[in-house]
Amino acid sequence: MKISTILLVFAGAIMLGGCKKENLTTYSSPGGKDNIYLGAATADTAAYTYTFAYSPAQLRDTVWVKVTVSGERAHQARSFVLSADPKNTTAVAAQHYEPLKATYTMPADSGVVHIPVILLNSDTALQNKTVKLSVIVSGGTGFSTNLPPAMRTKQITFSNRLEEPAWWPYWGQLGAYSRVKHQLFLISSGTRDLVQLNPAVDPNFYLYIPRCLYYIQNVHDFLQDPFTWVQQNPTAGYTLTKRTDNSGDYDFYNLSTPGKKFWLKFFPSVNKLIFIDETGNQILI
């Protein structure tokens, strides 16, 4: 056997003899209880942002909050507490969200559970303001509460209003942005988004132009004759009701959310009804 081969065999034997099984040390909390936190294993303070404006007829929606065990799984169910942090919450229980339960359960043999937080779309003031619900998890009877508050907190920010999307300025047919115009666009166009006419964003943007023009035409037809649109879209749940002030004006709204009305103003000089936005301007496309 060559000397080099002998040396390699000898070195390998030394390496194998030096290897031994190491016992992994698992996490153990003070007092024998595991901890519990929200989101990622590091501080997760970014707000979850939600708006009902994309579904104005929707009365409620669910945000799922991820609750994770920091420690070992147990063969029995364990309880913990998820509550609103009053110092960082402006949302009102039963008005903006369903009150949270007194306790929640981490199932047996589980390290993660998703808790439903029910947001409510009943306050018409959410059309003009944003509220926040800051939820914080604590140990309850099944866990310790030794982790920093930043790791145990999740902020949910929500409203019923819209912000100008990045694609809006590219489509001059839409005119100046307003939230009411945006909302009527969502109701009548058939889409939530138009393409940005920018090759840096999408080099194939031109392929989507015909479809986008179709969506804009849908909005135009709706604004010109909302009565026909209501008749042709009965499943959408919208109606038009004439005001009783002898103005000739109408209110356009969804039957499931009668508190949120869109003003359709009558102009006798042109014998025409025109939607009015939140700033008092006419909505024309």
Predicted confidence (pLDDT) per residue in 146-175, tens digit: 999 999 999 999 998 888 888 999 999 999
Look at phi and psi of residue 169 and say left if phi exceeds 0, alpha if psi is from -120 to 50, else beta.
alpha
CA 227 to chain CA centroid, Å, is 32
On the 0-12 / 13-18 / 19+ scale of CB atoms within 10 A, 223 is buried
pLDDT value of position 29: 53
Indicate the average pLDDT of the chain.
87
Per-residue pLDDT, averaged over 37-46, amounts to 56
pLDDT value of position 6: 43
Query: Predicted confidence band at 19 (pLDDT cuts at 50, 70, 90)?
Result: very low
Q: Which two tokens stand for residue 55?
A: 């579904």
Query: What domains does the chain contain, in order, with CATH numbers?
Result: 30-159 (2.60.40.1740), 168-275 (no CATH)
Residue ranges of alpha helices (H) inside the chain are 3-18, 179-188, 209-224, 226-232
Q: Is the pLDDT of residue 5 over 50?
A: no
Q: Is the pLDDT of residue 187 over 50?
A: yes
pLDDT value of position 57: 77
